Amino acid sequence: MPRYTLKVEYHGASFAGWQRQKEHPSVQGVIEAALTKLEPRAHKIVAAGRTDAGVHALAQVAHCDLAKEWDAYRLSEALNFHMKGARVAIVDCARVDDDFHARFSALERRYLFRLINRRAPLTNDRGLAWHIKRNLDLDAMQAGADRLLGRHDFTTFRSTICQAESPIKTLDELRIEKHAIANGTEYRFHVRARSFLHNQVRSFVGTLERVGAGTWTPDDVTRALEARDRAACGPVCSPDGLYLAGVTYPTDPFA
C-alpha cells in the first residue's frame, strides 16, 4: 500500500486533542473521516506527536497508507474538501517510502508558545495566546530558561499522567523573543528537543512566567529542576498559546 505523509495545520480550540476519541472531536478523527470518503474503509493515521486539547499546530506531520496511488496534490485537495468546516487543513502532502514513520523517523520536534502582555483582554488573539496583564522581565526569563537546557530528569515538569517510560530528556533550545505589538508586548518561546513529556512545554512557560514576574529567580528554576518533584513546578499555563511548529526528519519528506 502506498504511504503518504501530510503536513497538517489546525486550530486546537475545537478539539479534545490530536488523538481519536469516541465521544469528543479530535484532529485525527476529522482526517480519518475524510480519508474514509476517499477510500471507504477504516483508516488509521500516525502523527509525529499527540497534541493536547486546545493546542494548535502550524506543521504537524502524519502518515497514512492508502489502497491506490494518488497524486499528492490531488490527495491534499480532496482531503481539504471533505474537511470543510473543520479548523484543520492539509498544507502539504508527499508520497514517501514505506519505511517512513511520522513519529519514529523524526529527529526533533519544535514548539512555539505565544504569551501576550497587555492590560486589555485579547480579542483577535483570544484562544491563540496566553494573556498576562503583569509586566515581565525578558532577561530574567531567559536566564531561567538557560537552567533547563541539556539532558536532565524533568520529573518536575512532567504531568502526573505522562505515559513516557523515562522522565530523562535532552532540551536543545528554549529561546525567548520579545516583540512590540499594538497595545502590548508578545513573548515567543521557541522550544526544541527530540521528544517531550506530557505538559512539559506548558510547565516550562508557566514556571518562567513566575521568573519574569519576579516571584521566582533563575536559581528557583534550578532548585525546581533538581527537586525531581511535580509539586516543585510553577503553574502549568494555558494551552491557548502552544503550537507544534515543526518536525525535523533526516530528509525533508516535503522537499
Question: Which residues are annotated as catalytic?
Answer: 52
- Alpha helices, DSSP H only, in 109-242? 138-146, 200-213, 218-227
Beta-carbon count within 10 A of 137 CB: 13
Beta-carbon count within 10 A of 241 CB: 28
Buried (b) or exposed (e) across 148-168, using 16+ Cβ within 10 A? beeebebbbbbbeebeeeebe
The three-state secondary structure class of 114 is strand
φ, ψ dihedrals at 60, nearest 5°: -65, 150
Cell of residue 42, nine digits: 477504516
- Of 44, 71, 75, 46, give the one whose Cα is nearest residue 61: 46
- Residue 78: enclosing H or E segment and its boundaries? helix 72-82
φ, ψ dihedrals at 252, nearest 5°: -65, 115
φ, ψ dihedrals at 238, nearest 5°: -60, 150
